[in-house]
Amino acid sequence: MIGNGLDEDGYIAREGSTERVAAEFAPVVEAARERIAAAFGPARLHSAYLYGSVPRGTAVPGVSDLDLLLALRHRPTPEDRARADALEAALDSAFPQVNGVGVLLFGTETLLSELERHDLGWFVACLCTPLLGEDLAEQLPRYRPTSLLARETNGDLALALPRWRERLAASTGDGPAPDGDLAALSRAVSRRLVRTGFTLVMPRWNGWTSDLTASAEAFAAHYPDRAEQMRLAATVARTPTTDRAVLTVLVDELAPWLAAEYTAVHGEKAPRP
């Protein structure tokens, strides 16, 4: 890998590896491998992947979660989802070094489709680390940090805004909302805003990073007037808050501006069924 997360040919380099998994998380990863195979089996499962801080080697014991993506040979069914939910709960309860487990389910037909070529396909090829089965990245192209990639990964931010506003409004009703609700909302909102802010400037930055601080600074270099709001989002993404005033800044000020600017620069993401 050379600078800015690109390989020597200027393509986005795969960011994770099982070799980067810290010793504290190695037992979790091995258990995930075994339990995925047992729960789904070769008739259902095409391949399984790690993504997020664990394969990047930046996970913090007791703080970071374990993120998994399962590529199934068919479209996921309610039974598949139930199996994944049980897997999440079992791993989360067995290993205190992870603070939550998330399992995404997709059929291989979707992951390899033309519609998802520059979203889920890119995600698998560049941000996912193979854990089980044949790597789908071998059937996908290499990717550069282009405007097309920016559009198809985060060009739908505007669709999230009504849902965020509803959740924030519901949390400020007659009584105080549970802190967990606000904290979860702040984490989801802030991480999405930082990722979107980064991909807005990604083609100009000419690279890729999943580091939240680096993402916010890359954005800030191009949009100094919004730099402090994006740095605030990066801070909240690392340390979720229950402060409604902070959430209001992110949801009602930064998010609408970012959605409009994104559309103006890169256009809207292709509609999904």
User: CA nearest 255: which of 273, 228, 230, 222?
Assistant: 230
pLDDT tens digits, one per residue of 233-242: 999 999 999 9
pLDDT band at 180 (very low <50, low <70, confident <90, very high): low
Task: Give the number of residues written for the chain.
Answer: 273
Task: Please give the pLDDT value at position 176.
Answer: 47
pTM of the shown model: 0.92
pLDDT tens digits, one per residue of 58-110: 999 999 999 999 999 999 999 999 999 999 999 999 999 999 999 999 999 99
Task: Please give the pLDDT value at position 181.
Answer: 87
Q: Which two tokens mark 82?
A: 């139930």
Residue partners of 238: CB distance under 8 A and separation at least 6: 212
Cβ atoms of 259 and 180 within 8 Å: the answer is no
Q: Which parts of 155-243 fold into alpha helices (H)?
A: 157-170, 179-205, 212-222, 227-238
Q: Which two tokens mark 265?
A: 């620069």
pLDDT tens digits, one per residue of 243-252: 999 999 999 9
Amino acid at 21: V
